[in-house]
């Protein structure tokens, strides 16, 4: 059992370990790997990185095809053990049409050196509790690529029920899975 694991709001004390994770190829919130320039910038200006993370964001965002989407409020959380950053998750506060189709409430990633040790399973459990306490959710929608076994096993190990396996609405030629994952009761 992992007894010293904590879900925290990103803080200065854990930025050095976060930077090491990025250098390992950590995919923030299950998204893209950070560029070398971005990593150097965080290392040089850790407070500016946190300020940017917490800064109010515009109500819409634009993808690389120039399409504009509503931005749903989200909270970034870090899974830590002592001073060590293990993984992170982005918790969307509600769904919109786009997140309903793909993305869902929660996206997560565990740093490469810490994978296959049960951390994502525990991080998702803690995120679900966070969502119950802060958003009053009783279930969360999650999605992943059809062949991302590690991700969908993490959902299933938290009681996730498969909704469907369909062509990915945003990534041509790929399939995705969607799950409803129940929030543990208080």
Ligand X SMILES: CC(C)(COP(=O)(O)OP(=O)(O)OC[C@H]1O[C@@H](n2cnc3c(N)ncnc32)[C@H](O)[C@@H]1OP(=O)(O)O)[C@@H](O)C(=O)NCCC(=O)NCCS
> What does the binding site for ligand X look like in residue numbers (CB under 6 A)?
27, 30, 107-110, 115-121, 144, 148-151, 153-154, 157
Separation between Cα atoms, residue 107 and residue 29, nearest integer Å: 5
The answer to whether 105 touches 149, Cβ cutoff 8 Å, is no
The answer to whether 181 touches 151, Cβ cutoff 8 Å, is no
In terms of CB distance, is 15 or 127 closer to ligand X?
127
Shortest distance, position 40 Cβ to ligand X, whole Å: 22
Shortest distance, position 12 Cβ to ligand X, whole Å: 24
Q: How far is CA 123 from CA 1, 127, 163, 172, 182, in A?
A: 13, 6, 22, 30, 14
Shortest distance, position 7 Cβ to ligand X, whole Å: 14
In terms of CB distance, is 12 or 174 closer to ligand X?
174
In terms of CB distance, is 48 or 149 closer to ligand X?
149
């Amino acid at each position: 059992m992992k007894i010293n694991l904590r879900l925290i709001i990103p803080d200065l004390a854990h930025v050095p370990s976060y930077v090491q994770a990025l250098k390992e190829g950590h995919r923030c919130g299950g998204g893209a790997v950070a560029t070398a320039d971005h990593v150097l910038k965080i290392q040089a200006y850790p407070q500016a990185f946190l300020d940017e993370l917490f800064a109010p964001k515009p109500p819409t965002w634009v993808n690389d095809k120039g399409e504009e989407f509503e931005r749903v409020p989200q909270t970034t959380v870090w899974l830590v053990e002592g001073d060590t950053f293990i993984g992170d998750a982005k918790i969307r506060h509600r769904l919109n049409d786009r997140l309903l189709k793909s993305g869902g409430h929660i996206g997560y990633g565990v740093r490469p050196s810490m994978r296959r040790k049960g951390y994502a399973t525990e991080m998702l459990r803690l995120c679900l509790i966070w969502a119950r306490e802060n958003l009053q959710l009783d279930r969360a929608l999650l999605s992943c690529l059809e062949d991302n076994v590690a991700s969908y096993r993490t959902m299933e190990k938290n009681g996730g029920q498969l909704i469907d396996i369909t062509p990915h609405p945003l990534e041509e030629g790929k399939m995705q899975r969607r799950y409803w994952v129940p929030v543990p009761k208080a």
